[in-house]
Amino acid sequence: MTPKEKAKELVNNMFNCDKSTPEESMAMLYPHAKQCALISVDEIIEIVYNSLTSIQELNYWLEVKDEIEKL
């Protein structure tokens, strides 16, 4: 999965997890979902960085973060 595809998947998953407020506008919920996805990716980046697994894996998650910020 490309970083761009993963970014969209994460934000969409975060957006769809809150089904309790269907009356709220998408304009309010989408930025919140985007922020939740960024928090998740920051956690993954920290784990990958601290475990020194591979530079490719770290770069992948950094690219995912960049793609989320572009959404």
* pLDDT value for 22: 57
Structure letter (DSSP) for residue 21:
-
17 has pLDDT over 70? no
Token readout for 16 is: 């769809």
Distance CA 62, CA 16 (A): 23
Q: Is the Cβ–Cβ distance between 15 and 39 less than 8 Å?
A: no
**pLDDT band of 33, cuts 50, 70, 90:** confident
